[in-house]
Structure 1
Amino acid sequence: MPQHFLGLADANILATTQYQLADRIIRDLIAHAATGVIHGPAGAGKTFAMQAGIETQRRIAGEDRISAHTLAFPSRPSMLRVAADLIATLTGAAPPTSRNRFQLINQLIGLLSGTMKLIVVDEAQRLNSDCIELLRHLHDHPETRFALLYVGGDGCWEVLSREPMLRSRIFRRLPFRPLPREAIPDLIRAYHPIYDGADDALLLDIDDTFAHGVMRDWAVLTHTAADLCHDVGQDRISEAIVANAYTLLGGGLHD
Structure 2
Amino acid sequence: MTEPAAPPSQLPPPSNDHYLGLTRANIMGTKAVAETEDRVRKALKHAAMVCIHGHVGLGKTFAVHTVLRRHAPDTTIRLRFRQAHNMSELRGALWRALELPGEPHQSADLCGQQLKGALEQQPRRVLLLDEAQWLSKPALEYIRDLWGDDEQRAAVIFVGSGTIRQRILSCPALHSRIYDWYQFTPLKPTEVLNTIPAYHPIWTDTDPDLILYTDDHAGHGSFRNWAKLTLHLQDALEEKPRPHAHQRPRTLGLQPPRPHHPPRTPAQVKSASGRSEV
Query: What range is the shorter-chain TM-score in?
Result: 0.7 to 0.9
Select which of 116, 120, 128 maps to 2:124. Answer: 116
What SS does the corresponding residue of 1:112 show, helix, strand or coil?
Answer: helix
Identity of aligned residues (%): 30
What is the CA-CA distance between 1:142 and the residue it aligns to? Answer: 4.1
Measure the CA separation in 1 of the matches of 2:28 and 2:107: 47
TM-score (norm: length of structure 2): 0.78
1:1-255 matched pairs, under 5 angstroms: 2-3=14-15, 4-58=18-72, 66-73=74-81, 75-91=83-99, 96=104, 98-114=105-121, 115-140=123-148, 142-143=150-151, 145-231=153-239, 232=241, 234=243, 236=245, 238=247, 239-243=249-253
- Deviation per residue, 1:64-104 (Å, 9 max, x gap): xx5101113354422222112111111176753x4311011
Larger Rg: 2
TM-score (norm: length of structure 1): 0.85
What is the CA-CA distance between 1:136 and the residue it aligns to? Answer: 0.5
Contact 2:48–2:152 (CA under 8 A) maintained in structure 1: no
The RMSD of aligned alpha carbons is 2.3
For structure 1, the residue ranges without an aligned partner over 5 or more in a row are: 245-255
What is the CA-CA distance between 1:137 and the residue it aligns to? Answer: 0.8
What SS does the corresponding residue of 1:130 show, helix, strand or coil?
Answer: helix
Contact 1:125–1:154 (CA under 8 A) maintained in structure 2: yes
For structure 2, the residue ranges without an aligned partner over 5 or more in a row are: 1-12, 255-278
* Aligned residue identity for 2:44: I
Contact 1:30–1:118 (CA under 8 A) maintained in structure 2: yes
* Range moving further from structure 2, 169-178 or 70-79: 70-79
What SS does the corresponding residue of 2:77 show, helix, strand or coil?
Answer: strand
* Aligned residue identity for 2:245: R
Measure the CA separation in 1 of the matches of 2:19 and 2:134: 24
Measure the CA separation in 2 of the matches of 1:195 and 1:103: 56
- Deviation per residue, 1:40-73 (Å, 9 max, x gap): 1111001110100110103xxxx6xx51011133
Which residue of structure 2 aligns with residue 253 of structure 1?
none
Measure the CA separation in 2 of the matches of 1:205 and 1:92: 53
Measure the CA separation in 2 of the matches of 1:221 and 1:93: 45
